[in-house]
Amino acid sequence: MLGHRIFISYRRDDSAGYARAVHEALVRRFDAAQVFMDVDDIGAGQRFVEVIRQAVGETQVLLVLIGRRWRGERDGAAARLDDPADFVRLEVAAALAGGVRVIPLLLDGAEMPAEAQLPPDLRALAGRNALTLSNASFAADLARLEAVLREPGGAPPVALATEPRTGLARHAVIVAALILALGAAAFWVWQRGRPVAAESAATAPSAPLAAVAGAWQAQVRYDWPNADYAEHFTFSVDAGELRGSASFLGVPRGVLEGRVEADGVRFVTRTPEQPGGEAVHRYRGRLVGGELRFTMQTEGGASAHVPVEFVARRAR
């Protein structure tokens, strides 16, 4: 098997939400086995440093997600990036030294670090052309990134459709085609067998599979003072599974455990918290007319929260 061709490097307390959203998008469009992200690709009991070094050694493109806290500034101490044992520094330095193509992704207006702000083994990063990734234009920015990865020298992680496929590759294409065909047939049978809704047109849910895909936006008021945020949601549906991203506090989070139900959608997102904790956000959205009426419950984390209700509408 070919090694990981795309490596996602990020600092968890700086860009974990964006990293998950980028990972989810790339594995949908490319070969999932060739997109590396530490949370998903390092098993329990494995030595972190060894796995990272091996993965970087097999990488052709390393994406460096740079937010406003990427250097890891700390009160009364040097930035984490200045520590030779810092994992982000090890990842990027190994890629630069090994001739890997390194693409910085600047998140939500973050600036490219100046050469003087970088340790000696990372200073070559300052001369790399960067792409931007923002919540306001996430879909377009992601499309631009995918186009760059497909360019000559961009190391697309799957063979182009015009290239010959043999052996396991051909077998994988056949299996994928069968899965798509079966999914289409199942959807057709399901549609033929659906009962006619008795609700009025004003309250009856639309056909979920066809209606939830695409971009949505909502104004959300969370359960603490002065916490009004414009949140954005991007959904796609694959064989009844809901995929995409949902922003929380303006930062995109990858959709997990997503599914489309008879009257709407359910999914989960996660937000890392310090020190070492994690908040889980459980969304339940009912499709009514042209709206998704959500209830979101946050669990875990540092404090208790009540359910938050809001309405998402199609993004312009």
Q: Which residue has the higher pLDDT, 226 or 232?
A: 232
* Amino acid of residue 39: V
Q: Is 79's pLDDT higher than 60? A: yes
> Cβ distance 144 to 131 under 8 Å?
yes
Q: The tokens of 225 are what?
A: 């003072």
pTM greater than 0.75: no
| Mean pLDDT, rounded, for 276-299 | 89
Helix (H) or strand (E) run with residue 219 in it: strand 214-221
| Mean pLDDT, rounded, for 19-39 | 81
Q: What's the confidence (pLDDT) of residue 185?
A: 43
> Cβ distance 259 to 236 under 8 Å?
no
pLDDT band at 156 (very low <50, low <70, confident <90, very high): very low
DSSP state of 116: G
Please classify residue 121 by burial: count the beta carbons closer than 10 Å to its beta carbon, then call 0-12 exposed, 13-18 middle and 19+ buried.
middle
| Average pLDDT score over the chain | 76
d(CA 61, CA 50): 19
For 107-155, the pLDDT digits (tens) are: 988 999 999 999 999 999 998 889 999 888 888 898 899 888 887 655 5
> Cβ distance 109 to 117 under 8 Å?
no
Q: What's the confidence (pLDDT) of residue 197?
A: 39
Q: What's the confidence (pLDDT) of residue 273?
A: 66
